[in-house]
Amino acid sequence: MLVTTLDHDANVSPWLTVAPERGVEVERVGVTPGDLAIDLDDLEAKLSPRTRVVAFTLASNACGTVPDAARIVDLAHAAGALAWADAVHAAPHRRLAAAALGVDVLLCSPYKFFGPHLGIAWAREELLESWPADRVRPSAEHPPGHRFELGTLSHEAIAGTTAAIDYLASLGQGDGRPERLDEAFARIRAYEEALSRRWLEGAGSIRGARGLGIADPERAAERTPTFSFTVDGWSPRALAAALGERGIQAWDGNYYALELMRHLGLEEGALRVGFLHYTTAGEVDRALEALDALAA
């Protein structure tokens, strides 16, 4: 099976853990220089008739890159492999439509789209029918019942997830929830791309700052508004603390994107800032001003 250097470790470590038990070999697909996109040439070269799963992310939680999911799915299916997508970081920025994406499995968590901590797993019905399930005898033997649930569901978390989806749908218009979500995410994406361009235009002139991933403001559509970078003379932890003192919330470390940070030689990781549909242009400017002052 194949995993990628771009992924959150939640879509890498489980495969590494189960591999020895199942006699599975795990290979890692690299990333392209500069853009830090999944290297499709490397993916194609490593695919073989023995490949059973291609596990990849729909958006990097570290550098914001949005891979070419359609191409990855096509390559995986052409080799007879399952396309297994981690949608966690993509969820607040892109409309998740598993069937339209063509993936076989999609995993997510509502905490990334303003809901509670809960696991979401979607898979093609024939897969859910064929996979073995550790279940108590009274539970449903066939999907869509609770075949893969191990007990009483977290009803309060499900209610919170429903409320989060309803909130997102309220940002759009249409006859039904799917149509409202379609329009909501079209609006979210357009607004966030404007914020991304604003950030990239400003960050490019900050002395000693080096961003990870796509830096061209004209290519904002190819990434989420999630930006990691290093600044000369500052450790990521110290820089995050200094920004915090100025009222700018940022994060430091590897954000569980372990292989990407190792690939980049960033032992301490990087500083990360991120924007969402409720971030204002003024807040982006204030973060840039604070970063510029500290870099100076």
pLDDT of residue 153 exceeding 90, the answer is: no
**pLDDT band at 140; cut points 50, 70, 90:** confident
Q: How far apart are CA 91 and CA 177, in angstroms?
A: 16
In 3D, which of 14, 33, 93 has the Cα closest to residue 59? 93
Domain ranges in the chain? 2-146, 191-295
pLDDT digits 0-9 by tens, 87-96: 999 999 999 9
Considering the segment(s) 2-146 as one domain, its CATH architecture is 3-Layer(aba) Sandwich (3.40)
Phi, psi (rounded to 5 degrees) for 79: -90, 0
In 3D, which of 204, 218, 217 has the Cα closest to residue 295? 204
| Superfamily for the 191-295 domain | Aspartate Aminotransferase, domain 1 (3.90.1150.10)
So what's the pLDDT on residue 150? Answer: 72
Q: What are the C-alpha distances in Å from 277 to residues 43, 93, 105, 274? A: 33, 8, 27, 11
pLDDT digits 0-9 by tens, 12-49: 999 999 999 999 999 999 999 999 999 999 999 999 99
Whether 247 and 70 have beta carbons less than 8 Å apart is answered as: no
**pLDDT band at 143; cut points 50, 70, 90:** confident
Q: Which residue type, as a one-letter code, is found at position 37?
A: A
